[in-house]
Amino acid sequence: MDRVILHSDCNCFYASVEMLHHPELAGRPLAVGGDPEQRHGIILTANYTAKRAGVKTGEALWQARQACPGLIILPPRMDLYMRFSEQAREIYREYSDLVEPYGLDECWIDCTRSGECFGSGPELAARISDRIRHELGITVSIGVSWNKVFAKFGSDYRKPDAITVIDRDNYRHIVWESPVSDLLFVGRATQRKLYRYGILTIGDLAGTDPFFLQSVFGKIGLVLSAFARGEDRTPVAADGSEIPVKSIGNSTTTPRDLTTEQDVKMVVYMLAESVASRLRRHGFAGDVVEIYVRDGELRGFSRQHKVDMPTNISEEIAREAMRLFRENYSWERPVRSIGVRVTHLKMEDHPYQISLFTSPEWREKQLKADLAVDEIRDRFGFQAVRRGLMHIDTKLSADDAETHVVHPHGYFERGNRSGV
């Protein structure tokens, strides 16, 4: 028997929540984006009025204003969106214990065992859609299918406030006739490569020899082939299951271009403190430090290096990040954004070999200092205590590094990876 999988996607989520709190803006073009003065100028989402005027998610604020001069841009309020996201998930959980988030605004729901109590997949989707509308005041688009990939396709197929059923009778007509870029995991680079081989639709992809796709794309070629044919068997994760943390990192686009090593050092230390604090909070230490650098022309690179001992000490992370920067950046252009990440995580009490070139006493003092700073910031905020370095340019260091961290997780990090 086929599974019954729903994929629920909250329409224009951030903008929809903001419109609930700003009824005076009804009918006007609205978007949620970053702070233009701090140059975090990206459109996170826009309402349909703004989208019809040409505003696109991911574009710079200045580009959005060119497309829609009357656009109203509000700063994001993540705590508010997280509250609405959890309320939506509480509704989903009333129909299944298999609810897997895919970002704040999307969830897969396995309703295979719910039919006897709540009806068919489309009936369940209608129930959920009505409840979200009446209880939360926003709308969702829901896809219904026998696998996660086609359910996700269905929720994207018609918007807003729509229910699309992709079943074994219609998927060749609906899915296979759609552009290959509409399939999960086919990004721009993959699309361009597929186009070079004449693979323009999902049906073209489904009909292509899987071993040819493997020769071109590697293992992901086999995955895309299975997705296109509707053979995805990846399970929906049980509600509350945790994904192992593989790395902890932080990055920022700076309020102005960085033109000196001192500028870079100020930002790197701010990011390293945030990363080290999170590592300690979760009981981790890592032995690979990575940096990501992007210049004023948006050209970027990343470099990483394995350190002698696992660390969650801010000074060690910052020193290694600065070493990587010095050895790999030629200053042909100013720096626009920087990221610092620690990977190869272990539990902080995991045994390790002490390095002959590092003083255990020095490390213990650095760790105690970091822990004292953690306690102060937990009580009074990130800016309550700062290194003297940060006072060289208070505008550059005024940003709160705690607000930037994002931990994206892959589609296959939950459940049975071999199910495709």
Query: Where residue 339 sits, what CATH number does that domain have?
Result: 3.30.1490.100
User: What does the DSSP assignment read for 152-186?
Assistant: HHHHHHS-SS-EEE--TTTHHHHTTTSBGGGSTT-
- The residue-averaged pLDDT of 120-138 equals 97
* 259 and 396 co-located in one domain: yes
Give yes or no for residue 78 having a pLDDT over 80: yes
* 155 and 45 co-located in one domain: no
Q: How far is residue 401's CA from residue 252's CA, in Å, rounded to a whole number? A: 8
- The residue-averaged pLDDT of 290-315 equals 89
Interval 215-249: pLDDT, tens: 998 888 999 999 999 999 999 987 665 455 678 88
Give the DSSP letter of residue 242. P
Query: Is-cis flag, bond preceding 160, omega within 30?
Result: yes
Give yes or no for residue 99 having a pLDDT over 80: yes
In a domain, 234, yes or no: no
Domain count, the chain: 3
- The residue-averaged pLDDT of 99-111 equals 92
In a domain, 415, yes or no: no
Q: Is the dihedral of CA 337, 343, 346, 352 positive or negative?
A: negative
Domain's final residue, options 38, 58, 79: 79
* 284 and 321 co-located in one domain: yes
The pTM score is 0.65
* 218 and 199 co-located in one domain: yes
CB 184 within 8 A of CB 411: yes
- 29 three-state secondary structure: coil
Provide the pLDDT for residue 95.
95
* 50 and 101 co-located in one domain: no
Provide the pLDDT for residue 52.
95
Q: Write the CATH number for 94.
A: 3.30.70.270
Give yes or no for residue 405 having a pLDDT over 50: no
* 206 and 281 co-located in one domain: no
Q: At 54, give phi and psi (nearest 5°).
A: 110, 5
* 129 and 92 co-located in one domain: yes
Q: Which residues contact 346 (CB under 8 A, 6 or more apart)?
A: 284, 285, 286, 287, 310, 352
Distance of CA 379 to the CA centre of its chain: 28
Give 170 or 407, the one with higher predicted confidence. 170
* 151 and 264 co-located in one domain: no
In a domain, 91, yes or no: yes
* 86 and 73 co-located in one domain: no
In a domain, 411, yes or no: no
In a domain, 242, yes or no: no
Q: Which of 116-120, 136-140, 191-195 has the largest mean confidence? A: 136-140
In a domain, 278, yes or no: yes
Q: State the amino acid at position 236 in one-letter form.
A: V
Lowest mean pLDDT among 46-50, 286-290, 403-407, 411-415: 403-407
CB 61 within 8 A of CB 75: no
Q: How far is residue 250's CA from residue 274's CA, in Å, rounded to a whole number? A: 7
The pLDDT-based confidence of 406 (bands split at 50, 70, 90) is very low
- 289 three-state secondary structure: strand
Provide the pLDDT for residue 415.
45
Active site residues: 106
* 197 and 279 co-located in one domain: no
- 306 three-state secondary structure: strand
* 144 and 161 co-located in one domain: yes
Domain's final residue, options 186, 202, 229: 229
Percent of the chain's residues with pLDDT above 70:
90
The residue among 118, 72, 66 whose CA lies nearest residue 93 is 118
CB 414 within 8 A of CB 237: yes
Domain encompassing residue 161:
5-9+81-229
In a domain, 416, yes or no: no
Lowest mean pLDDT among 187-191, 287-291, 405-409, 413-417: 405-409
Give yes or no for residue 189 having a pLDDT over 70: yes
- The residue-averaged pLDDT of 93-109 equals 92
Domain's final residue, options 79, 98, 116: 79
In a domain, 235, yes or no: no
- Mean of per-residue pLDDT scores for the chain: 87
Strand (E) or helix (H) holding 292: strand 284-295
Provide the pLDDT for residue 6.
98
* 280 and 318 co-located in one domain: yes
Q: How far is residue 26's CA from residue 37's CA, in Å, rounded to a whole number? A: 26
